Structure 1
Amino acid sequence: MALFILMFLLSAAAAEEIVKFVGDDVTLRCEAGDGDIRAVEWTRPDLKKEEYVLFYSDGRSDPKHQHESFRDRVQLVDRQPQDRDVSLILKNVTNNDAGTHECRVSLGASRRKKRGVLDEEPIRVIHLMVKDRDSSDGNFSRIHRGLVLAVVGGVVLLVSCIAGFLFWKPKRANEEDPTQKGYKAINKSPSSLQPAADSPPV
């Protein structure tokens, strides 16, 4: 029972992994529970204790302790979250954005610390991976995947043809071989099993 409770607590914050290229925009999904949304906080474990990616409270974003690298690059999908959607839009992704992003929500009468960081456990944890964009590499990857699929398909077709040929050829050869037909006819002929009329009895 204790193990079940521990597993439940550990899985409370749903984790997700997202891969993006430098320069992309990304939406980090997070949905609040039932209740009035008092505050929303997106943060990262590697930021200073008082810093955050985005903090929303009293109907607006609070940039007071927002880390400078996220200024003018982040916003909530719903700037006045009414439908529990507190997802974060991160624009123009950089290599520095790679890492763990945590979503926290304060509902109802829950309180927050004066420094603006919520006490609640994260309800969503997202690991963002950022890759350098290389159009030639991307085109090569697509071509490479296409060639691999074509080769695999060709090999499968070739093996199927060879197997069918090997299975069909002996059968057809036996049917068309006159020697085999004559041999079968002689062996099956009733007269071949009877002694000749003019043969002397033994």
Structure 2
Amino acid sequence: MSFFRYGLIWAACLQMLDPVYSPKVHVKPGKDVTLPCQGHNPIELLKWTKQDLYMYVFFHRDNRSYEIYQNLSFRGRVQLRDPEMKDGDVSIIIRNVTINDTGRYECSTAEKNIGTTPKLNHIVDLKVDSDGNPRTEGDKNENLTVGLAVVAGLIVVALGSLLIFKTWPRKYFHLSSAKKSGDQQDV
């Protein structure tokens, strides 16, 4: 039972280190921005979505982009960084960003011959700053939140390790004490 409990603690700690997320990307309005994502070749389906949108930011299937599935605000402004998607590079470039482009973007891909159910590959938070300032008060609060989460994770790991070392030696100690007392009776 204790092994299961410690396994859950380690799983929770590893969840915080999920490689799907990336740091926030900051850009000034009117500039172009690249949202990074890496898939696995051969790619049959690529979807870029934004959390608050109904339609896609970018949709690519069977070596062809489909603007008809794109949200109107992104049509003609989004393209693949590498149209051939060499080495699984499915990053996109959004041209002439606006404040309305601020938000969370998700990149999902499906590999050929494996199935067409897309798998989430990457999440990018984009911040378009109207004054061009890459750091805002909200970002400082987010950094504090991340810092506190890391500290909490380290505390959980420390407590888990303490529990392991506190309970394990006690069991071992009882076994060795019984062995010693048995040895003394023989004398």
TM range (shorter): 0.5 to 0.7
- Mapped to 1, the partners of 2:47 and 2:12 lie a distance apart of 25
2:128 aligns to what?
A: 130
Go from structure 1 to structure 2 and tell me whether the alpha carbon gap of 1:119 and 1:105 turns closer, same or farther (over 3 Å shift): closer
| Matching of residues 40-79 of structure 1 within 5 Å | 40-48=46-54, 51-79=55-83
Contact 2:37 2:90 in 1 (8 A): yes
| Matching of residues 20-169 of structure 1 within 5 Å | 20-33=27-40, 35-48=41-54, 51-112=55-116, 119-120=118-119, 122-133=120-131
Greater C-alpha Rg: 1
1:189 aligns to what?
A: none
- Mapped to 2, the partners of 1:110 and 1:7 lie a distance apart of 30
- Mapped to 2, the partners of 1:60 and 1:110 lie a distance apart of 19
Gaps of 5+ in 1: 113-117, 138-202
Give the superposition deviation at 1:106.
0.9
What's the TM-score once normalised by structure 1's chain length?
0.57
How many residues were matched structurally? 127
Go from structure 1 to structure 2 and tell me whether the alpha carbon gap of 1:7 and 1:43 turns closer, same or farther (over 3 Å shift): farther
2:4 aligned with 1:4: no
Q: Which has the higher contact order (CA 8 A, sep 6+)?
A: 2
Gaps of 5+ in 2: 1-6, 134-187
- Mapped to 2, the partners of 1:42 and 1:71 lie a distance apart of 13
What's the TM-score once normalised by structure 2's chain length?
0.61
Tell me the secondary structure at the aligned position of residue 96 of structure 1: helix
**CA deviation profile, 1:146-201 (whole Å, cap 9, x unmatched):** xxxxxxxxxxxxxxxxxxxxxxxxxxxxxxxxxxxxxxxxxxxxxxxxxxxxxxxx
- Mapped to 2, the partners of 1:42 and 1:75 lie a distance apart of 11
Q: Could you say what the CA RMSD is over the residues aligned between the two structures, in angstroms?
A: 2.3
